[in-house]
């Protein structure tokens, strides 16, 4: 199992934000993390990445307890793709992707031909090789996300942690990111991805962790976890889960808030 989270607790020093989270995901799987703003999704990711101290429980990365791992060893197992990233300096896309190799350098090391080839190969895998020499700061939101995913691939980590990667993207780029996540899982990566769209797990997710107030509201396969009852309990509004066929006959599931129509008084 690439990722095992057992009764994990932690926060920011004023009490635990994450309270007893347990779940797991393996190579070839996408674990989608759902929940309202403030429920602890980002805190959970920071605990997984070692950016916050654990106050209880344990995280196992490829069978190794994360507390015993150095930052360098942890970086070889987990890579982080943030929502948004604006560099301080004007790097090219290829230079940004090469930065993913930092954990593989010695203190005095520097990237060479091998690192450039690995970075270019990572961009090629995402169909983004044409962006290599462009200024990273000139890219669109969707292109920046592709560059950040390429950087994570270049890092050679087995677990890719994506914090709402589709946030602030238009509909076409959101779908592109979902397709990329699915393809990466198909290539053996373990993807952990938070999302505000509860229908996403039906198309790309193998497992779902639904959170509320820092706790596990539900964990399992999308068909069992994402129901009208669970969505209403977590988000606090009436919601329906509807299945329809698209134009190609593919069964699709949609989650949408609903509102009872008031009686019409003519």
Residue 230 and residue 97: Cα distance in Å, rounded? 39
**Separation of alpha carbons 256 and 241, rounded Å:** 7
Measuring CA to CA, which residue among 53, 55, 40 is closest to residue 9? 55
- Using DSSP bridges, classify how beta strands 207-212 and 30-34 pair: parallel, antiparallel or unpaired: parallel
How many CB atoms are closer than 10 A to CB 117?
Answer: 10
Q: Going residue by residue through the chain (266 aa), what tens digit of pLDDT does each one get? A: 999 999 999 999 778 999 999 999 999 999 999 999 999 999 999 999 999 999 999 999 999 999 889 888 898 899 999 877 666 678 899 999 998 887 776 554 566 788 889 999 999 988 899 999 999 989 988 898 899 999 999 988 999 999 988 887 888 888 888 899 999 999 999 999 999 999 999 989 999 999 999 999 999 999 999 999 999 999 999 999 999 999 999 999 999 999 877 655 55
Contact 94, 116 (CB under 8 A): yes
Q: Write the secondary structure of the chain as one string of H (helix), E (strand) and C (coil).
A: CCEEEEEEEEECCCCEEEEEEEEEECCCCEEEEECCCCCCHHHHHHHHCCCCCEEEEEEEECCEEHHHCCHHHHHCCEEEECCCCCCCCCCEHHHHHHHHHHHHCCCCCCCCHHHHHHHHHHHHHCCCHHHCCCEHHHCCHHHHHHHHHHHHHHCCCCEEEECCCCCCCCHHHHHHHHHHHHHHHHCCCEEEEECCCCCHHHHHCCEEEEEECCEEEEEECHHHHCCHHHHHHHHCCCEEEEEEECCCCCEEEEEEECCCCCCCCC
What do you get for the CA distance between the two ends of the chain, in Å? 62
Q: Which two tokens stand for residue 47?
A: 């605990």
Q: What is the pTM of this model?
A: 0.90
pLDDT score of 262? 67
Q: How many residues does the chain have?
A: 266
Q: Which two tokens stand for residue 229?
A: 């009852």
How many other C-beta atoms lie within 10 A of the C-beta of residue 248? 6
Determine the Cα–Cα distance for residues 184 and 149; give it in Å rounded to an integer: 10
pLDDT at position 106 is: 56
**Max alpha carbon distance in the chain (Å)?**
79
* CA 41 – CA 201 distance, rounded (Å): 16
- Contact 148/82 with Cβ under 8 angstroms? yes
Q: What is the pLDDT of residue 261?
A: 74
């Amino acid at each position: 199992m690439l990722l095992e989270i057992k009764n994990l607790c932690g926060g920011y020093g004023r009490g635990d934000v994450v309270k007893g989270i347990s779940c797991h995901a393996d190579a070839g799987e996408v674990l989608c993390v759902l929940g309202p703003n403030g429920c602890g999704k980002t805190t959970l990711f920071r605990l997984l990445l070692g950016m916050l101290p654990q106050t209880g429980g344990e995280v196992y990365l490829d069978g190794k307890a994360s507390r015993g791992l150095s930052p360098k060893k942890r970086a070889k197992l987990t890579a982080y793709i943030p929502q948004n990233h604006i560099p301080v300096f004007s790097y090219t896309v290829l230079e940004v992707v090469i930065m993913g190799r930092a954990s593989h350098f010695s203190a005095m090391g520097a990237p060479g031909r091998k690192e450039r080839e690995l970075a270019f190969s990572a961009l090629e895998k995402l169909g983004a090789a044409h962006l290599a020499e462009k200024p990273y700061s000139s890219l669109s939101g969707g292109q920046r996300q592709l560059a950040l995913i390429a950087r994570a691939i270049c890092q050679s980590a087995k677990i890719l942690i994506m914090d709402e990667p589709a946030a602030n993207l238009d509909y076409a780029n959101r779908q592109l990111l979902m397709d990329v996540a699915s393809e990466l899982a198909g290539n053996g990566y373990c993807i952990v991805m938070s999302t505000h769209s509860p229908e996403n797990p039906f198309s790309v997710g193998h497992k779902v962790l639904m959170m509320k107030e820092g706790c596990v509201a539900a964990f399992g396969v999308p068909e069992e976890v994402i129901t009208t009852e669970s969505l209403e309990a977590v988000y606090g509004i009436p919601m329906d889960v509807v299945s329809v066929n698209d134009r190609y006959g593919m069964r699709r599931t949609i989650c949408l808030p609903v509102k009872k129509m008031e009686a019409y008084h003519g």
